[in-house]
C-alpha cells in the first residue's frame, strides 16, 4: 500500500510505520517480507494506552500525532479488495479531511460521496470535516490583481455616448 500511496498521492506524503510495544523488539512475525519501518515504543510514552490500541489496529494520525481514524485488520482482511480500498481511502481522506474522492479539493463531488457512503463508510463527523473544508483552496485575489475600471475610461465612454446622442439630434433637425 505504501508504494501505491507514494505513486498515486505523492503530494500527501503519507508514511506507513509500525510500532513495537514497549519492551519488545524485532517483531519478526509481523515483518516477514514487509518493508515498512518500525518505531519502538517505550514505557514512558506507552502508545498502547495513549492511542487505545487493540491487536492489528491501523491508527491514522494527523501532523500532531493525534489519531484521526482506526481500522482493525482482524475485522477487515486486506485480501478483500473492498477492505483494502476502504483503508486506502482512510489514509487519503485523513490527510485532507472532507476530500472523499482524493482529488485535492473539497467540493460537491465529495458531498455526493458522503451521501452515498453515509452509515457504512462515512458518518456525521465526516460531514463536519467536509463542511469545515468546503470551498476553493486558492487564496482570494488581492486588490492589486483585481480588474478595476479607471475613472477616465468611464468618463470617455460617457463623453462618446453624449456626442453620439447630440450628433443624432443634429441630423434629425436638418
Are 89 and 3 in contact by the 8 Å Cβ rule? The answer is no
With respect to residue 157, please indicate whether it lies within any of the assigned structural domains: no
Does 60 fall in a domain? yes
- Answer yes or no: is 13 within a domain: yes
Cell numbers of 131, please?
463542511
* Contact status, residue 100 vs residue 117, Cβ threshold 8 Å: yes
| 158 in any annotated domain | no
Q: Is the pLDDT of residue 16 over 70?
A: yes
How confident is the model over 50-72, as pLDDT tens digits? 778 788 888 888 767 778 788 88
Confidence at 83, pLDDT banded by 50, 70, 90: very high
> What's the mean pLDDT in 98-121?
81
- Do the domain assignments include residue 71? yes
Residue 76 has pLDDT above 90, yes or no: yes
pTM: 0.52
| Reported confidence tier of residue 170, pLDDT bands at 50, 70, 90 | low
Contact residues for 74 (Cβ-Cβ < 8 A; gap 6+): 55, 56
Kindly state whether residue 80 falls inside one of the protein's structural domains.
yes
- Residue predicted with more confidence, 18 or 40: 18
**Joined grid coordinates for residue 147:** 480588474
Total domains in the fold of the chain: 1
Q: Which residue has the higher pLDDT, 166 or 74?
A: 74
Structural domain harbouring 61: 2-95
Amino acid at each position: 500500500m505504501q508504494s501505491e500511496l507514494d505513486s498515486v498521492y505523492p503530494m500527501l506524503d503519507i508514511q506507513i510505520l509500525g510500532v513495537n510495544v514497549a519492551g519488545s523488539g524485532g517483531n519478526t512475525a509481523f515483518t516477514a517480507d514487509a518493508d515498512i519501518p518500525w518505531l519502538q515504543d517505550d514505557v514512558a510514552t506507552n502508545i498502547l494506552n495513549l492511542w487505545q490500541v487493540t491487536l492489528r489496529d491501523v491508527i491514522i494520525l494527523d501532523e500532531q500525532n493525534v489519531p484521526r481514524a482506526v481500522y482493525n485488520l482482524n475485522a477487515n482482511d486486506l485480501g478483500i479488495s473492498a477492505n483494502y480500498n476502504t483503508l486506502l481511502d482512510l489514509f487519503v481522506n485523513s490527510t485532507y479531511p472532507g476530500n472523499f474522492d482524493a482529488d485535492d479539493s473539497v467540493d460537491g463531488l465529495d458531498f455526493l460521496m458522503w451521501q452515498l457512503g453515509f452509515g457504512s463508510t462515512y458518518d456525521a463527523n465526516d460531514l463536519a470535516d467536509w463542511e469545515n473544508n468546503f470551498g476553493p483552496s486558492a487564496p482570494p485575489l488581492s486588490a492589486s490583481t483585481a480588474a478595476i475600471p479607471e475613472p477616465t475610461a468611464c468618463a470617455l465612454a460617457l463623453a462618446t455616448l453624449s456626442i453620439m446622442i447630440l450628433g443624432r439630434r443634429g441630423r434629425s433637425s436638418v
